[in-house]
Amino acid sequence: MAGTNVTVWAQPACFDAPLDEKNRQQRFKHMALKQQLTDDMKMALRQGDKHALGVIRLVLAAIKQHEVDERIKLSDAQVCAVLEKMLKQREGAIQQYENAKRHDLATAERNEMDIIERYLPKKLDEDALESLINTVIHTTGASQARDMGKVIAAMKEQADGRLDMAVVSAKVKAHLATWIKQ
């Protein structure tokens, strides 16, 4: 057809880069987590990474389901909570697969966990966790085991998804027990 103007969209150079952790962090430094997931899904589609694409689609579907059920738009903290829940589901599935001697399925679940963990904040190491627990205990004025709820609530606010709350709970309980004995 003569006289038809066709505009071809030029793909930005950042989309040609592989979907590794360094490039992902540089590209999405200030982007919302949900948007980051959407862009990574597009990137996996372009690169033909079917495994990552499937996992990211599962994550986005879980987020969308939560938004529809609650009739809200999820914040990054709420998206992190959804991701944490998905990780815990996979940990349970891995245990069941290991007990059933289905190591192939356990490996697939571990691979899914690796992709989901990319989108969560880095967990605090032991030293930082101990320091945070001591700081929170001092700032809340906790001195008894019944003050554990105040400490845990303050830890959740300050940690912002970087803690496994089961581990934190056990450590806070131990700290308060030793605190009382002193």
What is the domain count for the chain?
2
Please report whether residue 37 resides in a domain.
yes
Q: Do 101 and 135 belong to one domain? A: no
Gap between the Cα atoms of 119 and 19, Å rounded: 13
Q: Phi, psi (5° rounding) for residue 152?
A: -60, -45
Average pLDDT, whole number, for the chain?
A: 83
Segments forming the whole domain that contains residue 163: 126-181
Question: Is 105 a member of any domain?
Answer: yes
pLDDT digits (tens, 9 = 90+) for 130-146: 898 889 988 988 888 88
- pLDDT single digits (tens) 96-120: 999 999 999 999 999 999 999 999 9
Tell me, what CATH number does 84's domain have? 1.10.1510.10
2 domain residue, yes or no: no
Length of the chain: 182
| Residue 13 per-residue DSSP state | G
